[in-house]
Amino acid sequence: MGSALVEGWARSGIKGVVSTRSTGGNREAAAVADIVIVAVKPHVVQVVLEEIRDVLREGQILVSAAAAVPLAAIEKVVRVPAFRVLSNLPAAIGKGATAIATHAADSTRVVSLFARIGSVELVDEAVLHAVTALSGSGPAYAYLVIEALASGGVKQGLKRDVAMRLAAQTVLGAAAMVTETGVHPAELRDRVVTPGGTTIAGLHELEKSGVRGALMAAVEAGAKRAQELS
């Protein structure tokens, strides 16, 4: 996730992004940064925080991108304002979905930073497990849907590259209509459906196969696993 964030900020035109790769280590990077991003596996967070705690200074902000480490555990180690941020892979191209939780009074700087790489939601820490399961894991489910739609097109005679482009653009366009119009997906779906037409026939098959329930179950399973990891 760390590399996706760095790539997204670089694409957005932000200057002065440094990393452990460019500075040589955690302490060196943390010492020169105004906003310190800890983007490591959850079981490594405590180790990194202990390593950098004495180089952190007043005026800095610490952001953890780890899915399962609570703010309380972070705040026991560091004495600067702490934030938990959960973003996702599309942040690399400026299309991320990011949720932010904090006990700090002012979130402006962190919200502004992550708004450069997609949409931002301020949430209570208690719902971050759901965020992990929905928008964190969600791109994998969307990729599966795109792949399946494209394969359906291939089965019906389309060339693979044509089918993939059509499937990807279809999902992209459908998502954009939800975000840009604010219309409920069910209403938009009904705009596509005509009586006795092709769409309702396809939707009937999806409902028989339990696609809706399967996606809900996937989010539920992801949230449960995130809670177990914490």
Question: Which string of b and e fits 57-81 if b means at least 16 CB within 10 Å?
Answer: eeebbbbbbbbbbbbebbeebbebb
| CB of 71 closer than 8 Å to CB of 110 | no
Identify whether residues 91 and 172 lie together within a single domain: no
Asked if the structure places residue 133 within a domain, the reply is no
pLDDT digits over 131-183, tens only? 999 999 999 999 999 999 999 999 999 999 999 999 999 999 999 999 999 99
Identify whether residues 143 and 221 lie together within a single domain: yes
Choose the final residue of a domain: 101, 128, 155.
Answer: 128
Per-residue pLDDT of the chain (230 residues; tens, 9 = 90+): 889 999 999 999 998 788 776 667 899 999 999 999 999 998 899 999 999 999 999 999 999 998 889 999 999 999 999 999 999 999 999 999 999 999 999 999 999 999 999 999 999 999 999 999 999 999 999 999 999 999 999 999 999 999 999 999 999 999 999 999 999 999 999 999 999 999 999 999 999 999 999 999 999 999 999 888 87
CATH code, domain with 183 = 1.10.3730.10
Question: Which string of b and e fits 191-227 if b means at least 16 CB within 10 Å?
Answer: eeeeeeeeeeeeeeeeeeeeeeeeeeebbeebbebbe
Identify whether residues 157 and 119 lie together within a single domain: no
Q: Name every residue whose Cβ is closer than 8 Å to that of residue 19 and which is 6 or more positions away in sequence.
A: 2, 6, 29
**What global pTM score does this model have?**
0.91
Identify whether residues 62 and 117 lie together within a single domain: yes
Which residue, 158, 164, 145, is CA-closest to 209? 145
Asked if the structure places residue 168 within a domain, the reply is yes
